[in-house]
Amino acid sequence: MPEAVFKHIVRIAGTDIDGNLTLVYGLSKIKGVGYQLAAAISRVLNLDRDLRIGYLSESDVRNIENVLSNPLSYGIPSWLLNRRRDYSDGRDKHLIGSDLIYVVREDIEREKRIKSWRGIRHALGLKVRGQRTHTTGRLGPTVGVTKRAPQQG
């Protein structure tokens, strides 16, 4: 049996991942994949969670990409997905990478277009999730505060 070759950078689902990271932490570097989903993928594929990403074989990388493209068919529960009951078609999906970025941007644009409260807050550049704004989230230079000259003793 040939010894496994270590790769310093592994490309999985369009993301370059450092080969020194363990499997779960390496997979969580992919946008849209968190620690829990990465752990579930390693469990489904019977891969060691402490294995370094650099020691994955090409077939392992292909299997990981297949699970990421359709996690429900591999027995991963729907509550681990990041797009449940999608607005456009009502199905449970899991989006990663640039697809996720595109869909989130479209959601924000839809909120703005229908002039919902969240859309208005997005359009004005204000906090959206109920945070206080009296003292935080300010933009621009500091106003109303003057620096005193040092006192001569």
- Top CATH class of 9-80 equals mainly alpha
Integer CA distances (angstroms), 81 to 5, 16, 60, 84, 105, in order: 33, 22, 21, 6, 18
Q: Mind listing the pLDDT tens digit for each residue in 9-59?
A: 889 888 899 989 999 999 999 999 999 999 999 999 999 999 999 898 889
pTM for this one?
0.74
Q: Mind listing the pLDDT tens digit for each residue in 80-123?
A: 888 888 888 888 888 888 888 999 999 999 999 999 999 999 99
All CATH 1.10.8.50 domain ranges of the chain, comma separated, are 9-80
Burial class (CB within 10 angstroms; exposed 0-12, middle 13-18, buried 19+) of 37: buried
